[in-house]
Amino acid sequence: MPDYLPPLRAYFAHPDAIAVRVKDLQKLLKVKQSQAAPFQAAVEQLVIAGELRRGKNGTVYKADFVPKQAPSVSTIEGTLKRTASGAGYFRPVASAAPDIAIEDDVEIVNDEPAEAIYIAANHLNGALTGDTVRIEVLQRQRPGGQLCGRVVEIVKRKRTTFVGVYHEQHKRGFVTLDGAVVDYPISVGDPGAKGARPNDKVVIEMLRFPSPGEPAEGVITQVLGPRGAPGVDCLSIIHEFDLPDAFPEEVLEDARQQAHKFNEHDLADRVDLTRETVVTIDPVDARDFDDAISLEQHPDGSWRLGVHIADVAHFVQPGSPLDREATNRGNSVYLPDRVLPMLPEILSNALSSLQQDHVRFTKSAFIEFTADGIPTHCDLANTAIKVTRRFAYEEVMPIIADPDAYRGKLDAKVLSLLIRMHTLAMILRKRRFEHGALNLNIPEVKIDFSKEGRVAGAHTTVHDQ
């Protein structure tokens, strides 16, 4: 059993250590829940020995330290998050805990403290959500013992552009920002700037951030369109969260070069699966097609499942413009009326999309199952496939329900594959439920849009069982 006394002593020996609840201390030190009892016993041992003391609300602290008081440093740097009420919560960049580790299941890491520090609205000093700030911890607490602080310096602004609704008053233009950013309209100068009309959604650049006794001031940089008009809400989201839309020219050129180099006949380093029966099955409204399935059943009843994922990395060379842009974006963003892809469409919607009857490069996992669905082995390989048939889920279930009705209408190999897939799926499903899986059949609601892009209604989707 690990000895928890050394990491406990190390934590409280740090000059910035503050009072903390035992259960939160357990999380900070990465102690598994199965070891909670011996860990708490070690805490109790230090309390009995007089090295630690107990405070209110189940906290413990150093014997020579007054609980819930300001740390020894005068200010702390971290990030702020404002709430709809106008107040904020501050979290330091790192906790008081040093980097120490003992054994495999006990670790002290630099992490956030168990509780955020509360910043009252009149102590924010103009700080906004996401800003990096320095705060002074005050000598008072909220009911329940939460620390309170005051922003003394804004180190770095998270953003300078914001989205809001334009309106006019007393021959002046104002913008009410979306979200809990600033709780009063921002002056944007003379009315009608950039052609803005009342109730338009606009983007502004903040010229002067709010500070005590001095209101904020901004300038309109873009008019998105009338509030509620089709597409305007999506544009608002793109600008509000600074989502990357258009690709730089060097990234587009890199994508064009990679597309030009693509040779579907050059399979020297890949397993050729282009003659295998492979299908994709996605929702009818899916906007990408990056995974496919193949399945064989051996004479002894065992199975070999092939899971094929588009090999995007084949086109993205380390350190290239594509690589840097993809790293910056992190993922594709799906909005109701558009997709902001991680890679240019010449790749994301073409060469990295598993289109029917086209050779595509993939990463494949081949999983072996016994006849009753027990996984026994898995192989990985770089492969090339040619999707035999692309399906929507809505197409497949009628086939599964009455396969005889589709004989002669559907390729025999494809029909046989679908039947095998359903058979294995039911075997695996049965095993999951036998091992305690829950069937959380929660309705999924999808929004219906008119041709003009307006919300026309909503419906629940049907999940296949």
Q: Each residue of 158-172: pLDDT tens digit?
A: 888 999 999 998 889
pLDDT band at 101 (very low <50, low <70, confident <90, very high): very low
Per-residue pLDDT tens over the stretch 273-300: 999 999 999 988 888 899 999 999 999 9
Least confident stretch, 207-216, 345-354, 357-366, 410-419: 207-216
Largest pairwise CA distance in the chain? 84
CA-CA distance, 255 to 261, in Å (whole number)? 10
CA distances from 60 to 104, 144, 205, 316, 431 (A): 25, 15, 47, 51, 46
Average pLDDT in the chain:
85
pLDDT band at 113 (very low <50, low <70, confident <90, very high): very low
Q: What pLDDT is attached to residue 463?
A: 65
SS3 state of residue 396 = helix
Task: Give residue for tokens 């902001």.
Answer: 340
Per-residue pLDDT tens over the stretch 302-326: 999 999 999 999 999 999 999 999 9
DSSP H/E element including 132: strand 132-141
> What's the whole-number mean pLDDT along residues 406-430?
95
CA distances from 138 to 71, 127, 150 (A): 10, 17, 7
- β-strand 217-226 against 271-273: which pairing, if any? unpaired
pLDDT band at 58 (very low <50, low <70, confident <90, very high): low
Question: Which stretches within 289-377 are classed as H helix?
Answer: 321-329, 345-346
CA-CA distance, 73 to 168, in Å (whole number)? 47
CA-CA distance, 141 to 128, in Å (whole number)? 22
DSSP H/E element including 338: strand 338-340
Q: What pLDDT is attached to residue 213?
A: 65
CA-CA distance, 305 to 296, in Å (whole number)? 7
Is the pLDDT reported for residue 106 higher than 60? no
Per-residue pLDDT tens over the stretch 217-246: 999 999 999 998 888 988 999 988 889 889
CA-CA distance, 191 to 168, in Å (whole number)? 6
Q: What pLDDT is attached to residue 56?
A: 60
Closest CA to 163 of 210, 206, 201, 196: 201
The percentage of residues in the chain with a pLDDT greater than 90, rounded to a whole number, is 50
Q: What pLDDT is attached to residue 16?
A: 66
Is the pLDDT higher at 129 or at 364?
364
User: Which among 34-43, 113-122, 311-320 has the top mean pLDDT?
Assistant: 311-320
Q: What pLDDT is attached to residue 20?
A: 78
Spell out the residues 6+ positions from residue 345 whose beta carbon is closer than 8 angstroms to its own: none
Quick check: pTM over 0.75? no
- β-strand 271-273 against 375-386: which pairing, if any? parallel
Is the pLDDT reported for residue 215 higher than 90? no
CB of 51 closer than 8 Å to CB of 1: no
CA-CA distance, 458 to 448, in Å (whole number)? 5
SS3 state of residue 304 = strand
The percentage of residues in the chain with a pLDDT greater than 70, rounded to a whole number, is 90
Is the pLDDT reported for residue 257 higher than 80? yes
Spell out the residues 6+ positions from residue 143 whose beta carbon is closer than 8 angstroms to its own: none
pLDDT band at 67 (very low <50, low <70, confident <90, very high): very low
Is the pLDDT reported for residue 155 higher than 80? yes
Q: What pLDDT is attached to residue 358?
A: 95
Is the pLDDT reported for residue 143 higher than 90? no
Q: What pLDDT is attached to residue 351?
A: 94
> What's the whole-number mean pLDDT along residues 390-412?
93
Q: What pLDDT is attached to residue 180?
A: 62
CA-CA distance, 65 to 445, in Å (whole number)? 53
Backbone torsions φ then ψ of 289, nearest 5 degrees: -135, 90
Q: What pLDDT is attached to residue 294?
A: 97
CA-CA distance, 259 to 368, in Å (whole number)? 34
Is the pLDDT reported for residue 124 higher than 60? yes
Is the pLDDT higher at 115 or at 188?
188
pLDDT band at 65 (very low <50, low <70, confident <90, very high): low
